[in-house]
Structure 1
Amino acid sequence: MSYEILAINPGSTSTKIGVYKDGNEILEETIRHSVEEIEKCGTILNQLDFREKVILEVLEKKKYNIKNLSAVVGRGGLLRPIEGGTYKVNEKMLEELRQGLQGHHACNLGAILADGIAKLLNIEAFIVDPGVVDELNDLARVSGLPEIRRKSIFHALNQKAVGKRYARDIGKKYEDLNLIIAHLGGGISVGAHENGRVVDVNNAFDGEGPFSPERSGSLPVGELIKLCYSGKYTLEELKKRITGKGGFVAYVGTNDVKEVYKMALSGDKKCKLLLDAMAYQIAKEIGRASVVLCGKVDAVIITGGIAYNEDIQRFIKKMVGFIAPFVVYPGEDELLALAQGGLRVLKGEEIAKEY
């Protein structure tokens, strides 16, 4: 039996959609939304109607018959911490996303849009591995201060999809492997995957771990405290310096790795140092993850947009190649990852979880 799945990934100024038949792409489209269109809505929740309307219009324009769909899968939003997997969209999930209990972000619209379109067709709606996936072991939660508990917020969708992809490629189960997976993009997260669970990972949302094109990474605590009380920045400005205006943006004014790399190749020593330092910190974080797994590592995998850069690949491999086989899956295909999660449930390979 064949299954066709609509995947929906809403961003701040775009909605990405894809239709997949048994995991193979039928169509993919990035729908851009103007700033005026977004601002006219006022709140993120008020964007639902026009986003759903434009999704259906694009599918009609592409001459796709939505009655062929078996399920709709949306990008998971800012929910309470949950373990990884594919989840049925239910009323409890929808209510919490509408209320923004963990924060308001465009990704919260993914499950709501999936549910709305699925109800039109009387089919199932799912989400897959949202960024709040939390499978940390108890040791990883302890920070050193009782007021602060370490959190798990990372690129769960891509990391989990890549782990399962690697397992398929070598003819094994993801749950039978110990993997270190580094997602290298605008933010960077490095997860220790032990038998299918991410038992330790840096909180990429708050800028922990290696610095990245737009995030500061972990900082010297004493110096950060001094900066907090320097009077130079407000709370919101400092939060932006950590996530959004840190990393390459803070040093050279751009989050475009290709641009920084181009400047480095043309002789800019500062840009060369920054690229090497980022790769150095990524490698250190991978080394830390190998200790979490007691050195029993089946593969070290790098993924995400930055993984396309062969010089960065080589730098990291030189430092961590001794740990385990070094594997590169560049890019991040989030729509496909969403569709694959739904497909596993429809085919009976995975049981959908209840939120």
Structure 2
Amino acid sequence: MHRLIIINPGSTSTKIGVFEDENLVFENTIRHTVEELKGFARVHDQLDFRKEIILKNLEVNHIVISEIDAVIGRGGLVKPIESGTYEVNELMLEHLRIGYMGEHASNLGGLLAFELARDIGCNAYIVDPVVVDELQPVARISGLKEIERVSIFHALNHKAIARRYAKVINRGYEDLRLVVVHLGGGVSVGAHEYGKVIECANALDGEGPFSPERSGTLPVGSLIKLCYSGKYTYHEMKKLLTGMGGMVSYLGTNDAREVVKRIKEGDEEAKLIYQAMAYQISKEIGAVSVVLKGQIDAILLTGGMAYDDLITEWIKDMVKFIAPVEVFPGEDELLALCEGGLRVLRNEEKAKMYFESEALAL
């Protein structure tokens, strides 16, 4: 039996879990107030603060850390890398501290895992960060030489659900062609071919279909005019596209449950916008299906919105001619991180190392 500590930091919370193999024996979400965090200028400045709270929480709940075999942290914004479980090393720590691909609370995942693992005397890992990039060369061409398409998506959940489905049908993930759709605050649609995501949009910047709070790909000419209209600064435009876009822009909320409630109460505008989101997601599924030449074993819908039968049925109705559609609601990130660590501890796969020379050599 393997015992693991899992750490998943968010902007105002730190989720921790303790697993014995795949069995969750302890879970807690530690909330951090704005008052507690306002004194930290940068994300990595919160490291000691969050570490102390985690250790106290484990102690109070009688978790004996000396019995832990590995600590797994949520992967942050490191350089683009292949999918897998990576051992935290000095270069990764440096890139997480400086925010190589940007500042985000998830950068603390690897840092916190390393700190705890060093105290315990075990290894620290991260699993499938959002910057997993396995695009084929042709997918990187944008149409403008100065801009290259990049892959930033919900890699952890994509990969975990793909593997889970493969296990259900008694096949290997590396033997399947799948389209995986994460339906959350952001939406990402990926073409999975034999264990690699060869096509996926940059969901962090809101590319692809619009989502509850992201604008999705917009008409370029109109977007340029808006950027130069004088109404918005650069940072205001970024927020407009990746926080105030999508459903928020039209309906003033990013909560799909509230939108469904409005629809049931007869709100026709809410129905139109919600249908439009399903329509765009379905179009994206069709687009990435072409990348796989229509040879698809299944289309998998996952994420928080996958709990809602209304949107999943709309999507199914539009794409079921392509391949069977299966629904895996939610995003159990703690379990997904645990599974990545267990694959290494059980010698089912080898932990990857994060190197400067290999970080972009995919």
Q: TM-score range by the shorter chain?
A: over 0.9
Matches for 1:88-127 after TM superposition, within 5 Å: 88-127=87-126
Q: How high is the TM-score relative to the length of structure 2?
A: 0.97
Matches for 1:68-217 after TM superposition, within 5 Å: 68-217=67-216
Measured against aligned partners, the alpha-carbon deviations of 1:228-279 in whole angstroms (never above 9, x if no partner) come to: 1111111111111110000111111111110111111101111000111101
- Give the Å deviation of 1:42: 2.5
Q: Which runs of 5+ in 1 are unaligned?
A: none
Q: Which residue of 2 aligns with 1:325?
A: 324
Partner amino acid, structure 2, of 1:78:
L
Q: Which residue of 2 aligns with 1:14?
A: 13
Q: Structure 1 stretch 187-196 or stretch 17-26: which is displaced more?
A: 17-26
> What secondary structure is seen at the aligned counterpart in 1 of 2:17?
strand
> What secondary structure is seen at the aligned counterpart in 2 of 1:278?
helix
Partner amino acid, structure 2, of 1:65:
V
Partner amino acid, structure 2, of 1:241:
L
- Give the Å deviation of 1:117: 0.3
Q: Which residue of 2 aligns with 1:46?
A: 45
- Give the Å deviation of 1:313: 1.0
Q: Could you tell me how far apart the structure 2 residues matched to 1:202 and 1:96 are?
A: 23
- Give the Å deviation of 1:224: 0.6
Q: Could you tell me how far apart the structure 2 residues matched to 1:330 and 1:315 are?
A: 15
Q: Which residue of 2 aligns with 1:239?
A: 238
Q: Could you tell me how far apart the structure 2 residues matched to 1:89 and 1:335 are?
A: 18
Q: Which residue of 2 aligns with 1:269?
A: 268
Q: Which residue of 2 aligns with 1:226?
A: 225
Measured against aligned partners, the alpha-carbon deviations of 1:2-40 in whole angstroms (never above 9, x if no partner) come to: 001111011110000111111111111110001011112
- Give the Å deviation of 1:68: 1.6
> What secondary structure is seen at the aligned counterpart in 2 of 1:166?
helix
Partner amino acid, structure 2, of 1:94:
L
Q: Could you tell me how far apart the structure 2 residues matched to 1:101 and 1:163 are?
A: 28
Measured against aligned partners, the alpha-carbon deviations of 1:35-60 in whole angstroms (never above 9, x if no partner) come to: 01111223211111110011111111
Q: Could you tell me how far apart the structure 2 residues matched to 1:320 and 1:127 are?
A: 34
Q: Which residue of 1 aligns with 2:359?
A: none
Q: Could you tell me how far apart the structure 2 residues matched to 1:99 and 1:212 are?
A: 29
Matches for 1:19-38 after TM superposition, within 5 Å: 19-38=18-37
Superposition RMSD on alpha carbons, in Å?
0.7
Partner amino acid, structure 1, of 2:247:
F
- Give the Å deviation of 1:202: 1.3
Q: How high is the TM-score relative to the length of structure 1?
A: 0.99
Matches for 1:344-355 after TM superposition, within 5 Å: 344-355=343-354
- Give the Å deviation of 1:106: 1.0
Q: Could you tell me how far apart the structure 2 residues matched to 1:92 and 1:81 are?
A: 14
> What secondary structure is seen at the aligned counterpart in 1 of 2:54?
helix
Q: Could you tell me how far apart the structure 1 residues matched to 2:155 and 2:101 are?
A: 17
Q: Which residue of 2 aligns with 1:296?
A: 295
Q: Could you tell me how far apart the structure 2 residues matched to 1:231 and 1:100 are?
A: 30
Q: Could you tell me how far apart the structure 2 residues matched to 1:218 and 1:260 are?
A: 22
Q: Could you tell me how far apart the structure 1 residues matched to 2:100 and 2:183 are?
A: 28
